[in-house]
Structure 1
Amino acid sequence: MFRQRYPNVTLDESRMIVNSTRFTTAGAALAHVDLALRIIRERSPALAALVARYLLVEARSSQAEFVIPDHLAHADPMVERFECWARRRLAQGFSLAEAASAAGTSERTLARRLQSVLGKTPLSYFQDLRVEHAVHLLRTGNASVDQVAAQVGYSDGVTLRALLRRKLGRGVRELRRGG
């Protein structure tokens, strides 16, 4: 909805706090706390840590895993068909041709629709679903990282660890602890 309403604004969903030349913005319901701590941290990291302790706010660089998943933020039937297909195939891998067929459209139309509704390519959204499911498995089970990686379609735990670090800024131990 944001992209439709403000087409000239570049939306960066990967971070809760985004600095630009003239503005610093924050997203989500409690991101104003992160924004305030960010502003304080620029002047005094020690003061920001103290304020966070008093507010009982955990230290984090990203709230990415707390973001409402994209599938809750849209109601597009074609995107929903793609998502259902993708969730059933996380371990098998991605094929744009199969995805388009499952969504009942052409590859090009599927790519355009996901870009306009979610601001992502079909492959990027597929990978986000893999990460979302991996985080769930790590937090709710005790399977090894290699086992979780296999369940979400990665060849090994090393690949999954790197992806989690890149996308969420957290490692497996932090995720298992609920951090």
Structure 2
Amino acid sequence: MITIRIWVYDGILASGVAGPIDVLNAANHLSAREVAHSRHPSPMFTWRVESLDGGPVKAASGQSISVDGKIDPRKRADAILITAPFFSNMDEFIGRRKQLNALSSALRRQSEAGAVLAAYCTGNYLLAEAGLLDGRVATTHWATAADFARRYPRVELRASEILTAQDRIISGGSVTSYLNLAVRLVETFAGEKLAAMTAKSLLIDMNRTSQASYAKLLDEHGHADPLVARAQQRMEATLQQGFRLSELAEWLAVSERTLNRRFKLAVGLAPLTYLQNLRIEVAKQLLESRPIGLEVVSQRVGYGDLSTFRQLFKRKTGLSPSEYQMRFARTSITDDTESKSHSFLD
């Protein structure tokens, strides 16, 4: 019997506990069906939900989550599943040093004992804090990727990927990757056949391999540099036009070198890269909300050559414009949607 210990604490997402348990339970039922010679086969997987003090924890939603016992790093486990905290500011989570140190120590002990460690979304911060991701590949939620990379430069971060695996550590990306992560645990311990059956029975898409199509390429104007803010506003207002850094610098009455340096400091991107991301973000909004042809979209975001637009869009999102539109376009589109203005376009 495979023992999975699910470690929880205050502030996690409740679905990150129930979802993986549902996957393991489904795997048990499907496995039992395959064992025709036994009326009462033993379940393949067993699990325990555990907290540091053995008491219930409160999810981010306020929901109380009961547990089966206390985290004991000396107790045997085939795998530890680390649930993810739901924090808009990870500084608050990292600041809980007593909790963080206790979990880190327990994770290192289980790793040394040979357990598979599995984390998803912001739960990967726990593995990184324990030093277990140093020199290894990992992923995390796309929205926290920049913060994660800054905090843990020794981790080989692959933020676009849904799952990574190396040295008995499985890392999941965005929130619902806990389903993919749980199926990967089934595959690890019970084989591809049962994992595929489980994924199909629960309609879990194991073919999604990238977060790129979900990622937002730009943050809001969250900086204090008025020069860069003016440059961003100018780019938005002239999106359909060609771009030359020299012309933008002249309009702002600064040198190209100054503009480039200030832009990188404020935004973390060169002006041209920022403009490319801006154009793709607007194109995504158009493809999601309007019954509009690709050539029109390409022209509205400043690309006269459709082939160039397609190549850049796929490089940035992992999908072609047509694939993106099929996946994310809202079905309630009406004819008057086209007449509604967009702040970047009209």
TM-score, normalised to structure 2's length? 0.41
Taking only aligned residues, the RMSD between alpha carbons, in angstroms, comes to: 3.9
- Once residues 35 and 117 of structure 1 are traced to their aligned partners in structure 2, the CA distance between those partners, rounded to angstroms, is 36
Task: Give the one of 96, 100, 104 matched to 2:249.
Answer: 100
Q: Decide which structure has greater helix share.
A: 1
Shift in CA distance, 90/39, structure 1 to aligned 2, threshold 3 Å:
farther
- Structure 2 stretches of 5 or more lacking a match? 1-145, 329-346
Q: In the TM superposition, what whole-angstrom CA distance separates every residue of 1:97-135 from its partner, at most 9, and x where no partner exists?
A: 232344554321221233233332110110111111111
- Once residues 13 and 54 of structure 1 are traced to their aligned partners in structure 2, the CA distance between those partners, rounded to angstroms, is 27
Contact 2:298 2:306 in 1 (8 A): yes
Residue 15 in structure 1 maps to residue 160 in structure 2: yes
User: What residue identity is the alignment partner of 2:202?
Assistant: Y
Aligned twin of 2:223 = 75
Aligned twin of 1:161 = 310
Aligned twin of 2:208 = 60
Task: Give the one of 151, 157, 176 matched to 2:325.
Answer: 176
Aligned twin of 2:278 = 129
Aligned twin of 1:86 = 235
Shift in CA distance, 53/123, structure 1 to aligned 2, threshold 3 Å:
farther
* Distance apart, 1:67 and its partner CA: 2.7
Shift in CA distance, 50/172, structure 1 to aligned 2, threshold 3 Å:
farther
Aligned twin of 2:264 = 115
User: What residue identity is the alignment partner of 2:246?
Assistant: A
Contact 1:90 1:153 in 2 (8 A): yes
Contact 1:17 1:26 in 2 (8 A): yes
- Once residues 31 and 102 of structure 1 are traced to their aligned partners in structure 2, the CA distance between those partners, rounded to angstroms, is 45
Structure with more contact order per residue of length (Cα contacts < 8 Å, sep ≥ 6) = 1
Same amino acid, percent of matched pairs: 28
Alignment of 1:26-41 (within 5 A): 30=175, 33=178, 36=181
Q: Decide which structure has greater strand share.
A: 2
How many matched pairs?
178
The range that moved more, 47-56 or 129-138, is 47-56
User: What residue identity is the alignment partner of 1:67?
Assistant: A
SS in 2 for 1:64: coil
- Once residues 299 and 291 of structure 2 are traced to their aligned partners in structure 1, the CA distance between those partners, rounded to angstroms, is 14
Contact 2:279 2:302 in 1 (8 A): yes
The range that moved more, 60-69 or 13-22, is 13-22
- Structure 1 stretches of 5 or more lacking a match? none
User: What residue identity is the alignment partner of 1:139?
Assistant: E
User: What residue identity is the alignment partner of 1:33?
Assistant: Y
